[in-house]
Amino acid sequence: MKNPVGPVLRMGDEVELIIAAIEDDNPGTEIEVIDRGAYVRVQGEDQITVTEQTLRHYLGADYEIRSFGGIMSAFSGRVINTSDAITWQSIALGKEAAR
């Protein structure tokens, strides 16, 4: 995969549901999941996003996107946080957008 970006998640009960949410929010994008035992690396090429709305669909109506940081131990790429989404973007893509 060229320019992989995405979160590294601590292993826990919610991981599979979060992966499903990321897959739903990125149709047409190949999402690669690398299980390392204590953590899971979730990545896509150039840019992937997860929204609070989709996380709520999987994790419950009271889930808040700011809670995501508690299970994300690291990430690859550049992170763009908004009040309702998190986007991981390749550094190269971010430079192109700034031009």
| pLDDT one-digit tens code per residue, 36-75 | 999 999 999 999 999 999 999 999 999 999 999 899 999 9
pTM of the model: 0.90
Residue 36: predicted pLDDT:
94
> DSSP states of 8-77 as a string?
EEE-STTHHHHHHHHHHHSTTS--EEEE-SSEEEEEEESEEEEEHHHHHHHH-TT--GGGGGGTEEEEES
Q: In CATH terms, is domain 4-98 a member of 1.20.1250.20?
A: no
- Residue-range domain boundaries for the chain: 4-98
The whole-number average pLDDT for the span 82-99 is: 79
Residue 1: predicted pLDDT:
81
pLDDT for residue 98 is more than 60: no
79 and 86 Cβ atoms separated by less than 8 Å: yes
pLDDT for residue 93 is more than 80: no
Residue 91 pLDDT grade (very low, low, confident, very high; cuts 50, 70, 90): confident
Give the amino acid at 87: T
